[in-house]
Amino acid sequence: MAVSPFEERYRTEMNAVFDDEAKLRKWMAVEVALAKAHAQLGNIPKDAPARIAAAAERVTPERVAEIEEEIHHDLMAMVRALTEQAGGAGKYVHLGATSYDIEDTATALIFIEAIEQLEQSLGALATTLKKLALQHKGTVCIGRTHGQHAVPTTYGMKFALYYQELKRNQERLSEAKRRIAVGKMSGAVGTMATFGKHGPKIQELVMKELGLEEDPVTNQVVQRDRHAEVLCALALTAAFMEKIAKEIRNLQRTEICEISEPFSSKQVGSSTMPQKRNPHKSERVCSLARLVRANAMTAMENISLEHERDLTNSANERAIFGESFICVDYMALQMAKILDGLVFYPENIKRNLELTQGLIMSERVMIHLVETGKFGRQDAHETVRQLAQEAFSKGRHLKDLVIAQKLLTKKEADELFDYSTYIGHAKKIVEDAVKD
């Protein structure tokens, strides 16, 4: 039975990147690259790397686990299992390396693969947001600030806003990928002492073989600011998706009901209230975003290791790395599904535009009074403000009051109070925002 919900409930293709066997294979890939570097420099026989590589194919996670149970060191368990399978070439396995030469270099390979997997999921989400932005660039709705009705906007503006933020998050992940794509082969405290005169060349050859950059200077580990940057980028991406999910949840409220996440014909909203159509998918996205943010905080705590390193990062990294990537990947896949099936309620959108009886057009009336020269800006603001307060307190339509005060003719008022014509350059803003 699964203990972590990421093993089953929130499982995605990302799980395969972080499972124990994938990690083991990455570790052994680094060991093979190290053997190749030694052979190229004449430190070990030319045929040793091929024999070690063939042995790596025969190493099983079960055998590694057996050895670890005995020696209580997971990396060394892999080294011994690989040595067993390599025959005479086994004596060259792990030559000159310390554990984190292998582990941190392999972690870079894992992170690169994970980011590339996530880029696909986020790319699909971007496609959905772009489609919605263009479809609804002219869908006029009420804009809200401080939870209050402000002035009209469009649903296309909302989706274009999200699209642009997603692009920034994609850029952050790309930058983080560049900085995490480094490895080390520098020994116990980073001096390369165990590799003798060939130290710098061995590191160069290993990283070239693996497609990584050399970390210019390390101690026993690659410094954790690199990993923390990746998890912070994940946290920002999660927060972005939480923003969308929260907006859907609020706009799905019974009193507002302008949009809703998809709800299937057999779906159950509540165990006791048959009528409920809870936005549970969006709520789940919001919930998981909190976890990713917490993991980013843990990653930042890992930056300040003592002296040339301690082990306080190790245990939590076994959880936070895979968990954060799987979580964000799951959120991206879920958000794309939510948005693909998003339901719009046009009558409710129109009802909410008219809910305040014209008060949302106060700004437009004020600007018109200034443009016609009837008032200065401050006087126009105060005049309309007083009328808006009166309309609110007496339940009157603002248009009726401005006509009664002879501030506008009926024709002028009818034109100015048409909310569909007060969306400025929204359509062009949307079109420009989603251009690639």
**CA–centroid distance for 343 within its chain:** 24
Residue 388 and residue 244 in one domain:
no
Domain interval for residue 295? 98-181+221-260+278-356+419-436
For residue 20, being part of any structural domain is answered with no
pLDDT band at 73 (very low <50, low <70, confident <90, very high): very high
Domain with residue 392: its CATH number is: 1.10.40.30
For residue 352, being part of any structural domain is answered with yes
CB 59 within 8 A of CB 82: yes
Query: Could you tell me where the DSSP H helices lie in 136-254?
Result: 155-180, 199-210, 225-251
pLDDT at 271 over 70: no
For residue 82, being part of any structural domain is answered with no
Q: Which residues pair with 153 in a beta bridge?
A: 141
pLDDT band at 7 (very low <50, low <70, confident <90, very high): confident
Active-site position among 270, 287, 304, 420: 270
Residue 398 and residue 285 in one domain:
no
Name the DSSP letter for residue 262.
-
pLDDT at 273 over 90: no
Domain count, the chain: 2
Residue 385 and residue 283 in one domain:
no
324 is catalytic: no
For residue 89, being part of any structural domain is answered with no
Residue 344 and residue 426 in one domain:
yes
Residue 306 and residue 397 in one domain:
no
pLDDT at 8 over 80: yes
pLDDT band at 265 (very low <50, low <70, confident <90, very high): low
pLDDT digits (tens, 9 = 90+) for 136-161: 999 999 999 999 999 999 999 999 99
Active-site position among 146, 264, 265, 425: 146
pLDDT band at 1 (very low <50, low <70, confident <90, very high): low
Please name which of 313, 253, 246 lies closest in space to residue 278, comparing C-alpha atoms. 253
pLDDT digits (tens, 9 = 90+) for 147-202: 999 999 999 999 999 999 999 999 999 999 999 999 999 999 999 999 999 999 99
Angle formed at CA 433 by CA 432 and CA 434, multiple of 5 degrees: 95
270 is catalytic: yes
For residue 1, being part of any structural domain is answered with no
Residue 302 and residue 246 in one domain:
yes
Residue 206 to residues 43, 101, 109, 203, Cα–Cα distance (Å): 14, 11, 13, 5
Residue 425 and residue 385 in one domain:
no
Please name which of 151, 119, 156 lies closest in space to residue 134, comparing C-alpha atoms. 156
CB 61 within 8 A of CB 42: no
Residue 325 and residue 364 in one domain:
no
For residue 32, being part of any structural domain is answered with no
For residue 266, being part of any structural domain is answered with no
Residue 294 and residue 398 in one domain:
no
pLDDT band at 279 (very low <50, low <70, confident <90, very high): confident
pLDDT band at 65 (very low <50, low <70, confident <90, very high): very high
Residue 336 and residue 435 in one domain:
yes
The lowest-confidence range among 253-267, 287-301, 330-344 is 253-267
Segment 71-76 long-range contacts (CB within 8 Å, at least 24 positions apart): 73/99, 75/27, 75/99, 75/102, 75/103
pLDDT digits (tens, 9 = 90+) for 132-141: 999 999 999 9
Residue 104 and residue 228 in one domain:
yes
pLDDT digits (tens, 9 = 90+) for 202-235: 999 999 999 999 999 999 999 999 999 999 999 9
Environment class of 261 (CB within 10 Å of its CB; exposed 0-12, middle 13-18, buried 19+) = buried
Question: pTM for this structure?
Answer: 0.94
pLDDT digits (tens, 9 = 90+) for 294-330: 999 999 999 999 999 999 999 999 999 999 999 999 9
Domain with residue 312: its CATH number is: 1.20.200.10
pLDDT digits (tens, 9 = 90+) for 409-418: 999 999 999 9
Place of tokens 């649903």: 155
- Mean pLDDT over each residue of the chain, to the nearest integer: 95
